[in-house]
Copies of this chain bind each other. A is one copy, B any other.
Amino acid sequence: MQPDNFDIVIQGGTLLTMSADMQIMEDAVVGIRGSRIELVATNLRPAANKIIRADGCLILPGLINTHTHLPMVCFRGLADDLALMDWLEHHIFPMEKRFVNKEMVYDATMLAMAEMIQSGTTTVCDGYFFENQIAAAIQACGMRAVVAQGFADFATPDNPAYEKMMAAAGRFVKRWKPYSPMITPAFFCHSPYTCSPETLVNVKAAARDAGILYMTHLLENKQETATVEQRYGKKPVRHLLDLGVLDKDTVAVHCNWLSSDDIDVFAALDVKVSHNPASSMKLAAGVAPVPQMLDRGITTGLGTDGAASNNTLDMFQEMNLAAKIHKAVSLDPTVMNAATVIRMATIDGARVLGLEGLTGSIETGKLADIIIVDMNQPHLTPLYNPYSQLVYAARGADVKTSIINGKIVMENRRLLTMDPAQAIRNVRKIAARIAPEPTPR
């Protein structure tokens, strides 16, 4: 072992850097030392402690899931084909009240990690209850994450009263901030219809003090506008604007019913958007005006939402749907293209989470969050356009190897930082309490 060796070198294959100029390199070489990318080149054969061959593969930045609720994998497939509010109020909220606890959240997050690593995600943004346990599980698996402590004006499984929520949130930030940029704390207000103006404002003030992101579900379904208008005499985006909670460190999730005026506000204030097509399609909640947002330069990332409404955490499915749904509803196939979708799933996702200086592209100086996709397969043959192939033909199961922060977390489909069989057993035990018998309909 020579002292100037790289720790890891990825050798061969086609590299999609996702740099500003969308550089693509054949016979690529990526050299990693510690957590960093220190070499991006072609036609070189540098020495390394570990060489990963990528011939016939695509090498690209790990995918960034900008919105999910990880422990909801426990509710995957339990209540489908229902309207959003029916699903939420008669199925999800009651089940969360009964079954969400520290142990459930930890075990479920471990299972979610297996699924996400196996489908190419290297950074995830989560918002749920018992976020300390979620962060701990993520940390154990070596994934990069933004973990958002949730707020709502009703008793949540982890926090019965508003005052206690704020105190707990302070402790949460203090506990996890030292681990950034592996685990980065954030705050998450559930929505303008479940959080009072006071909560929305106070949480944003606390987020600004802590220098962290502030998130909220926004305009997921059509009725939200009427609800907020009735209560506050204005539409949701105007309501948030007047409360002063919209800025470049605010991430609005869903935005299915964003009007063109709302888009103006978002563009002017550089508000970020997380687009979750699978979940919104399945809940029939609406289709976000993403082509219009992108035209106005609004930074938009992709998210899977929770597995109860998706029902997977597979960013390849999310890319596929993001590429297709806007064509379908506009009857214009040119409103979204494959390269744009890959940007949303990588570098733009990093921008949404404020991590664009660290991840989201493969460039020297960045942290090594990299996936290798095996294209030596019938359904990925032939290969004319790598972006098209990833978006329209590949699926999560085609990710062969994954590196996060310079550490190999999956190699040739084998997970190295966790035991998926154990995670499956643990969640099956929880599921047996939730629904003792399978419930086909």
- B-binding residues in A (CB < 8 A): 14, 22, 24, 73-74, 76-78, 80-84, 87, 111-112, 114-115, 118-119, 222, 278, 280-287, 307, 310-314, 317, 320-321, 323-325, 327-339, 376-379, 381-389, 392-393, 395-398, 420, 423-424, 427-428, 430-431, 434-435, 438-441
Complex interface: chain B residues within 8 A of A285 (CB)? 331
Task: Tell me whether A284 and B314 are in contact (CB under 8 A).
Answer: no
CA distance A182 to B186 in the complex (A): 59
**Are the C-beta atoms of B378 and A115 separated by less than 8 Å?**
yes
A438 / chain B contacts, CB cutoff of 8 Å: 14, 383-386
Flag if B77 contacts A440 (CB, 8 Å): no
Q: Are B330 and A441 interface neighbours, CB within 8 A?
A: no
Cα(A281)–Cα(B322), bound, Å: 11
Residue of B nearest to A380 (CB): B76
Distance between Cα atoms of A53 and B314 in the complex (Å): 28
Task: Give complex CA distance A91, B82 in Å.
Answer: 41
Cα of A389 to Cα of B331 in the assembled complex, Å: 30
Contact residues in B for A388 (Cβ distance below 8 Å): 77, 80-81, 311
In the complex, A336→B287 CA distance in Å? Answer: 17
Given A337-B81, A337-B441, A441-B385, A324 and B378 contact (CB-CB distance below 8 Å) = no
> In the assembly, what is the distance between CA of A414 and CA of B346, in Å?
33
A331 CA to B83 CA in the complex, in Å? 9
Residues of B within 8 A of A73 (CB): 381-382
Chain B residues with CB under 8 Å of A83's CB are 332-334
